[in-house]
Amino acid sequence: MNRTWQEYKEGFGDVKGDHWLGLDFPLPLSQIKSFEKKNDISVNVFGLDNNEIFPLQITDHRSGHHVNLLLFSKGETRHYCLIRNLSRLLGDRTLHDGETYYCNYCLHGFCRQDLLDDHVPFCSPNGPQKLSFPKSEEQKWIEFKHINKQLRVPFVIYADFECFTSPVESSAPNSSCTKAYQKHEPSGFCYYVKCSSNELSKPAYVYRGSNTLDHFFERLIQEEKHICEVLDNVKPMSLSAEEEMVFQKSTKCHICDGELGADPCTGS
């Protein structure tokens, strides 16, 4: 489909013409890609919020006929405006004296085209982006909150299965793009119980035989019972005199680095 730019400008005005066949008018963002395919044209759409311009939808395939549009929205009312020069529209973003080359995905400006060309391959996989800054004092700071994840879990079980394979022959219709050609039948497994305290770790357990999965889950249930018994058997720590002194004089938690209260055990 090779239309001239003049033909595009004339045809877009007729909502019953070929350019709009099967599309809604005004055109919603969800139909931009269909409009591009139907008309062999690429379209970028930018939005406006509190006098801030940001990308809404950036084309996947830049065409020889390309337009940048600014979308004004108010409730259900939408209106597209043609952006003739993106550099001039975003001129208040920079003090650079001259043309600025803007990334369509993040609207970061560059003073040279080659700098923009180097930037785009890293930015485009992220899609359209809009910068958002914290609006309150609480939002200004980000901190690590999952303190419990700083400690090793007391027990970990590593497991591995071995299987026999047999050909799969099926004439049943399947809409999936995946083609099954082998079936895996578990023939055995091995697992290893690792404890953060090495003296409670167990030797590797190996099984080969029938009902492999049933046997595996039976063993896991047994291991779970044993681990729960160990964890329920809480014993006081054996501290040396020096360790006891350091513990009693502590003013900060050694895990979260937070201030301790009067009781170093509870922090209150």
Give me the numbers of helices (H) and strands (E) for the chain, helices first please: 6, 9
Structure tokens belonging to residue 109: 């400006």
- DSSP alpha helices (H): ranges in 96-202? 113-123
Q: Give the model confidence (pLDDT) of 206-246 as tens digits.
A: 999 999 999 999 999 999 999 999 999 988 888 899 999 98
The whole-number average pLDDT for the span 183-205 is 92
Query: Which residues 6+ apart lie within 8 Å of 1 measured at CB?
Result: 39, 40
Q: Give the model confidence (pLDDT) of 9-43 as tens digits.
A: 555 555 566 666 667 777 788 888 888 887 778 99
Domain ranges of the chain: 5-126, 148-168+180-232, 240-268
| CA separation for the pair 140, 50 (Å, rounded) | 21
How far is CA 38 from each of CA 41, 105, 127, 190, rounded to the nearest angstrom?
A: 8, 24, 23, 58
Q: Give the model confidence (pLDDT) of 156-187 as tens digits.
A: 999 999 999 988 876 566 666 677 888 899 99
Are 220 and 190 in contact, with CB atoms under 8 Å apart? no
Q: Is the pLDDT of residue 118 over 90?
A: yes
pLDDT at 267: 52
**What is the CA 165 to chain-centroid distance, rounded?**
35
* Sign of CA pseudo-dihedral 254, 259, 263, 266: negative
Would strands 101-102 and 205-208 be described as parallel, antiparallel, or unpaired?
unpaired
pLDDT band at residue 98 under the 50/70/90 scheme:
confident
Is the pTM higher than 0.75? The answer reads no
Structure tokens belonging to residue 177: 């793009």
How far is CA 12 from each of CA 9, 28, 44, 171, 191, rounded to the nearest angstrom?
A: 6, 15, 17, 50, 67
Q: Give the model confidence (pLDDT) of 245-268 as tens digits.
A: 988 888 888 888 888 875 555 555
| CA separation for the pair 72, 49 (Å, rounded) | 9
